[in-house]
Amino acid sequence: MQAFQLKLDSVRQHYLNGDISIGFRQLTDCVLDTRDLQFYKQLIAYTEWFESEEQSTFDVVSKAIHLIDLLVNFPIEEKVVDAPLLVAESLGKTYGRRKFQLKNVSLNIYPGDVWGLVGENGNGKTTLLRILANELSFDTGSLSVHLSDSSISDYEMRTRLVYIPQRTPKWYGSLKSNLKFTATHYGITGEENELIVLMMIIRFGLWNYRNHQWNELSSGYKMRFELARTFLRAPKILLLDEPLANLDVLAQQLILEDLKSLSQSISNPIGIILSSQQLFEVEKVSNKVLFLRNGEPTHLADANEQSNNETTVIECDVKATKEQLLEAFNQLPAFEISYNGGMYMLSISAPNQMSTVLRALATSQLEVTYVRDISQSTRRLFI
């Protein structure tokens, strides 16, 4: 079975399970994968129908299933992922008489990759993103971007490498008119313009806000708008600087899921690099996480590769003194415990000790509010 059919099955299952929201988003992705205006029209009509008034779940599901049935036999050309989109070798940049240096950053971004860029403030995340976006020059190393056209001007390159800064500029006019303006510049004209813009509006949950102005939208919806605008540009590489800042937890999850899903589009997979302080959320959707400290990559976590950590690092929030904890964990292999003022960090010199720790905490009957195994997470690097 092809990837598209598998994806449709997943959508069908979501609908049948009553997970209409996730089902609808994935259905939209499937329709977008078709790049067929007739299907766009059907999805838009479907959205218009169920957004217009309260509909019964049965009707919503049955109409969605009907659309899925129509999509099943649609031929989708799957994009073969083989060559990297962007290759950076030992990039370096020095600011203001060596006050800050970005050093030795190497990375390869393939279609479908989501890279998380983490690190404390002022460690070069934004600098790296701007270098990758061709916005900032670099002093050492090399950077090559492999797009479909072999020779394009610097300006055209900038049109393909989409960089969304942390503070997005204010825009004027209605949300929809701005999206249409973007689409037109990317050669999407006439009826197609209207349909694709509406599809993006639907995809990013902006249907009820399509005629709103900038100052009528919350931060979350502003970011959704930026993403909608960005995806209208059909980018090959998307560079996002702190896209989760100022978003609530739910909005963060939604946007990360959307990014993940869109990066792995069947017909048009893209490479994404995003910087964020929301470590766990980012790690959840990223294939690779790059940790920068003092401008230098100190850790590269690859979700595809098997971890061979010999140490278990556990973060926990317990209402207990350090002595009480030491007593509770006295059965554990060699370990260290530290307190950063809010959390205890437990470092055990053996792999996969989470269950042992949980048992020890349960036995000790200490009041535990939070426990997390951060052995694989870059969170442990912030200690």
Partner 1 sequence: MKFLRKFDTFLLENYPILWRSKVFYLLATGALLWVVFYLVGYAITDLNTLLTCSIDKRYEDTYAVLFHAILVLIILSFWALHFYKKNAIRHYYPLKRFYLLKLFFSILIGILPLVTIIVPFQAGVRAKARYLVDLETLQKEIHTINLALAFLPTNTENYSIHNKTFPKPFPVSDMLKFLSDSTWTESLLYIKDSTGDTTRYIPANHPENTVVIDNKQYQFLHSKTINPEDECYGEYYELITHFYHPDTSLKLHAYGLLNYSNVEYSDAAIPNRDSYSIQYDSRNITKFNQLYAPKIHRWVHQKQQDSIQYIVHEFQEILNKYSINNVLNPQLIAAIHAHYDYHGNYLSFVNTGIRDKNDYEFDFSVNNENIISYLESEDRENPFAYNQYSLDYLIRNSKMAYHHEEKEELNLAFVVIAISLSLLFFLFDVTPFIQFLIAIPAMGVLMIALGLISALIDYNHNDYYFDHLYKEEAYIFLLFSITFICLIVFSWITIKYTYFNKKLSGVLLNMGCFVAPVLPFLVLLTIVEFSRHVEYNPCGGMHKVYNVQLRETLMDPYLLVSVSLLGALCYFPLIRKYYARKE
- Which positions touch partner 1 (CB under 8 A)? 130, 134-137, 153-159, 171-173, 177-178, 180-182, 184-187, 189-190, 193-194, 233
| Alpha carbons 376 and 373: distance in angstroms, whole number | 8
For 270, counting Cβ atoms within 10 Å of its Cβ (0-12 exposed, 13-18 middle, 19+ buried), the class is: buried
Minimum distance from residue 130 beta carbon to partner 1 (Å)? 8
| Alpha carbons 211 and 43: distance in angstroms, whole number | 19
| Alpha carbons 326 and 339: distance in angstroms, whole number | 12
| Alpha carbons 324 and 321: distance in angstroms, whole number | 5
| Alpha carbons 10 and 27: distance in angstroms, whole number | 9
| Alpha carbons 91 and 142: distance in angstroms, whole number | 6
Minimum distance from residue 220 beta carbon to partner 1 (Å)? 21
**Nearest to partner 1 of 95, 110 (CB atom):** 95
Minimum distance from residue 205 beta carbon to partner 1 (Å)? 23
Minimum distance from residue 144 beta carbon to partner 1 (Å)? 15
**Nearest to partner 1 of 84, 165 (CB atom):** 165
Most distant pair of Cα atoms in the chain: their distance: 72
**Nearest to partner 1 of 90, 340 (CB atom):** 90
Task: Name the token pair of 229.
Answer: 């605008």
β-strand partners of 299: 291
**Nearest to partner 1 of 53, 149 (CB atom):** 149
- 78: Cβ contacts below 8 Å, ≥ 6 apart: 2, 3, 4, 266, 267
Minimum distance from residue 172 beta carbon to partner 1 (Å)? 4
Minimum distance from residue 368 beta carbon to partner 1 (Å)? 49
**Nearest to partner 1 of 25, 130 (CB atom):** 130
**Nearest to partner 1 of 149, 367 (CB atom):** 149
